């Protein structure tokens, strides 16, 4: 491949600054890697021992047979569904077994994990300022603190120095609304004795959360992560890179109390019904039952009613109400954020908000349309 051709199409020819050509000696280093196996990578037929390890993601070696086998086997069965897959639970169980976390959410990159952790911390504490130490990815909440901050919107994020507790304390004195400290617990050098303990204590004194960014250190220490190694428990932890051995996956996890800020608490989740009905007809008796049930347990429920008296595609008159009163049996009822499984016809619909696009794009709903108005 000709490098000029690459440069004509891709800014700087790379997808991340870490692969920039100016990081390597021009004319000496190869420009492309064609493939890798185990500890070796190949370029123009030459073999190299690979110390970059895919920027830290490759912990089991390139093209690891077991990892590939697992990925390929699932790929043959489908990779994206509209409902959870049980492997998510199995993986969550593994993570909470080894990392100091009770609950976990999965993401695709380390940057997403750190951004999620910052968001969770701000939501949980109702405070805004973030103090950071280390590298936390390319998202703008962090990038604004670096010289490469053009295009980043500003929020209250301030860096402190690794192994320098005084620099952290100074920031706490200046900012009274610190939601969290996010830091890499091990940056090239081991943390000085007591440094992590002091960070923990300072966070507690100021009612700020402590987030360990273990995107690099996760899976790389004897005890799975630096938090375990140095026996300092963060409130939230971010992992990524080695977690997927080259496949895109990451996670943010923490105590159940904190992670539960992610649970929806607004009206749409107070009660969940999945109504199975034949082709959108709701019997008035069902409606009475639902109303009665909600009355008994004392909740309101919200529904999106798609008026389909003429045809299914007519979603324009869709209305959302908080109390179901419409007893017209020709309406289709979509409980917000739920899936309506049209039981007898085995058709699965998306939730109300995007159902229109899905149905338009996909012509495979003749069963639904043909049943409308029957
Ligand atoms: C400590 C740390 N956090 C976060 C990230 C961002 O991860 P990703 O590149 O997967 O978005 C990196 C990436 O190098 C990292 O080193």
Which residues does 64 contact at the CB level (< 8 Å), separation at least 6? 245
The stretch 310-319 carries a mean pLDDT of 30
Asked if residue 111 has its Cβ within 6 Å of ligand 1, the reply is: yes
Share of the chain above pLDDT 70, in %: 70
Question: Rounded to an integer, what distance in angstroms lies between the CA atom of residue 69 and that of residue 197?
Answer: 41
Domain count along the chain? 3
- Per the structure block, which two tokens stand in for 116? 């999620």
**Phi-psi bin for 44: left (phi > 0), alpha (psi -120 to 50), beta?**
left
Angle made by CA atoms 209, 104, 258, in degrees to the nearest 5:
35
Residues 76 and 99 in one domain: no
Res 30 pLDDT > 80:
yes
The mean per-residue pLDDT over the stretch 105-119 comes to: 97
Q: End of a domain among 196, 228, 262? A: 262
Q: Count of CB atoms within 10 A of residue 301's CB?
A: 22
Catalytic residue positions, numbered: 135, 213, 241
Tokens of 33: 């890697």
- Measured CA to CA, the distance from residue 177 to residue 125 in angstroms comes to 9
Ligand 1 contact, 234 CB (< 6 A): no
Q: What pLDDT shows up at residue 196?
A: 98
Domain range spanning residue 64? Answer: 17-83
Indicate whether 73 and 115 sit together in one domain. no
CA 340–ligand 1 middle distance (angstroms): 39
User: In terms of pLDDT, which residue wins out, 269 or 211?
Assistant: 211
Closest CA to 161 of 190, 139, 129, 183: 183
Distance (Å, rounded) from C-alpha 307 to C-alpha 204?
Answer: 54
Out of 242, 262, 282, a domain closes at: 262
Which CATH number does the domain housing residue 159 bear? 3.40.640.10
pLDDT digits (tens, 9 = 90+) for 326-360: 333 333 333 322 223 233 334 444 444 333 333 33
Q: Are residues 75 and 120 in the same domain?
A: no
In this model, does residue 159 exceed pLDDT 50? yes
Ligand 1 centre to CA of 111 (Å) is: 6
pLDDT value of position 280: 41
What residues does 212 pair with on adjacent strands? 183, 237
| pTM recorded for the entire structure | 0.78
Q: What is the mean pLDDT of the chain?
A: 78
Position 287 in a domain: yes
**Averaged pLDDT, 185-201:** 95
Report pLDDT for 22.
Answer: 80
Provide the β-strand partners of residue 157: 130
Residue 306, pLDDT above cutoff 90: no
Dihedral sign computed on CA atoms, order 253, 95, 90, 53: positive
Q: Which has more pLDDT, 68 or 350?
A: 68
**Does residue 180 share a domain with residue 115?**
yes
What average pLDDT does range 258-286 have in this prediction?
A: 50
Is residue 136 lining ligand 1, measured as CB closer than 6 Å?
yes
Task: Confirm or reject: Cβ of 229 under 6 Å from ligand 1.
Answer: no
State residue 320's pLDDT score.
28
Name which of 271, 292, 280 is nearest 374 in CA terms: 280
Contact 334, 246 (CB under 8 A): no
């Amino acid at each position: 491949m000709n490098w000029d051709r690459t440069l004509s199409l891709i800014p700087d020819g790379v997808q991340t600054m870490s692969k920039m050509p100016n990081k390597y000696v021009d004319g000496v280093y190869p420009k492309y890697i064609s493939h890798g196996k185990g500890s070796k990578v190949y370029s123009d037929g030459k073999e190299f021992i690979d110390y970059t390890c895919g920027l830290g993601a490759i912990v089991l070696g390139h093209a690891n047979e077991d990892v590939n086998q697992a990925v390929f086997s699932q790929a043959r069965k489908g990779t994206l569904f509209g409902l959870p897959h049980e492997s998510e639970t199995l993986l969550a169980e593994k993570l909470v077994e080894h990392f100091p976390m009770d609950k976990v959410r999965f993401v695709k990159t380390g940057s997403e994990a750190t951004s999620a952790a910052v968001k969770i911390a701000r939501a949980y504490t109702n405070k805004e300022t973030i103090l950071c130490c280390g590298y936390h990815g390319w998202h703008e909440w962090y990038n604004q603190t670096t010289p490469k901050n053009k295009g980043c919107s500003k929020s209250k994020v301030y860096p402190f120095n690794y192994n320098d507790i005084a620099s952290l304390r100074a920031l706490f004195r200046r900012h009274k609304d610190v939601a969290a400290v996010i830091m890499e617990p091990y940056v090239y050098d081991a943390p000085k004795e007591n440094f992590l303990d002091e960070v923990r204590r300072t966070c507690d004194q100021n009612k700020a959360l402590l987030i360990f960014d273990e995107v690099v250190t996760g899976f790389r220490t004897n005890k799975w992560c630096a938090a375990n190694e140095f026996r300092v428990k963060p409130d939230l932890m971010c992992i990524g890179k080695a977690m997927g051995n080259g496949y895109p996956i990451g996670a943010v996890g923490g105590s159940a109390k904190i992670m539960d800020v992610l649970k929806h608490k607004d009206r749409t989740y107070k009660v969940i019904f999945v109504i199975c009905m034949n082709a959108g007809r709701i019997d008035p008796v069902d409606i009475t039952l639902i109303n009665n049930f909600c009355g008994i347990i004392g909740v309101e429920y919200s529904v999106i009613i798609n008026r389909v008296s003429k045809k299914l595609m007519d979603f324009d008159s869709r209305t959302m109400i908080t109390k179901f009163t419409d007893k017209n049996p020709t309406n289709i009822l979509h409980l917000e954020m739920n899936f309506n499984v049209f039981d007898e016809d085995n058709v699965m619909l998306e939730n109300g908000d995007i159902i229109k696009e899905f149905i338009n794009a996909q012509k495979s709903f003749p069963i639904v349309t043909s049943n409308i108005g029957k």
